[in-house]
């Protein structure tokens, strides 16, 4: 059974940093691209970032480019999101999602975690 | 960047009704369009990928069609458990965009 378990969320002050993690199991992690998708309270879904199976291709939403960094450790079956210079508008539930394919730009998200909540507030 | 216009934003229908949601892309995205269902308090679930392919395990009352800029998602006979918010999503050139969502309610 595919499982994606996010962790690392919490309350953080504006301008500070936070690192999210996603532990994957139930599939061959290094065969698939992975993504972070967020959802602000009461709002819709927003893709944040994605990374190919071998970290060779990475993409970011314009809203986080230059502040967030996605990475993965295939040996640990883990996905990460380093979030710097956090803003109030980054407050959201952050989901980890598995891609159906290896590369970015040509597939869909077939499994999702339950999310970790990030609240940016003073 | 490609923009997605999803409509309607909300919809009320009766059990057994045929329900249709549309999604329009600001430029040609071929068939790179997916549909997701999100129930309250739950993570999204993939229903349709590549515009018209039914994800494994998804009931056949769900279907998708379209290509280029205009896409349609249909529930052939609405069931009570279909109450959710539905999102379209496109992927193009390392950017992924979701539609605004359609909140579906039972009349």
pLDDT, tens digit (0-9, with 9 covering 90-100), for B77-99: 999 999 999 999 998 878 899 99
How far is Cα A70 from Cα B104, in angstroms, rounded to an integer?
A: 34
* Residues with pLDDT less than 50, chain A: none
Q: What is the pLDDT of residue B61?
A: 98
Q: In terms of CA atoms, which chain A residue is nearest residue B96? A: A47
Asked if the Cβ–Cβ distance from B43 to A115 is below 8 Å, we say yes
Q: What is the pLDDT of residue B104?
A: 97
Q: With contacts defined as CB-CB under 8 Å, which chain B residues touch A108? A: 34, 46, 49-50, 89, 91
Q: Which residues of B29-61 are buried (b: 16+ CB within 10 A; e: fewer)?
A: bebbbbbbbbeeeebbbbbbbbbbeebeebeee
Percent of chain A residues past pLDDT 70, beyond the cut: 100
A-interface mutation test, from B43, B49, B71, B103, most A Cβ less than 10 A away: B43
């Amino acid at each position: 059974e595919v499982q994606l378990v996010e962790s690392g969320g919490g309350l953080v002050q504006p301008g500070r940093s936070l690192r999210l993690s996603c532990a994957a199991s139930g599939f061959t992690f290094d065969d698939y691209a992975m993504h972070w998708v967020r959802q602000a309270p009461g709002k819709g879904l927003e893709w944040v970032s994605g990374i190919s199976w071998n970290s060779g291709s990475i993409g970011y939403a314009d809203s986080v480019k230059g502040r967030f960094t996605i990475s993965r450790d295939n040996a640990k079956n883990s996905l990460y999101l380093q979030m710097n210079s956090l803003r109030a508008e980054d407050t959201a539930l952050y989901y980890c999602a598995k891609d159906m394919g290896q590369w970015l730009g040509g597939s869909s998200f077939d499994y999702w975690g339950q999310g970790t909540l990030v609240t940016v507030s003073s | 960047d490609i923009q997605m216009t999803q409509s309607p934003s909300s919809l009320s229908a009766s059990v057994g009704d045929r329900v249709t949601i549309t999604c329009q892309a600001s430029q040609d995205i071929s068939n790179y369009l997916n549909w997701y269902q999100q129930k309250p308090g739950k993570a999204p679930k993939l229903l349709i990928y590549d515009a018209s392919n039914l994800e494994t395990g998804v009931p056949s009352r769900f279907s998708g069609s379209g290509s280029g800029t205009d896409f349609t998602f249909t529930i052939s006979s609405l069931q009570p458990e279909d109450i959710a918010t539905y999102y379209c999503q496109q992927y193009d050139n390392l950017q992924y965009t979701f539609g605004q969502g359609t909140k579906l309610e039972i009349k």
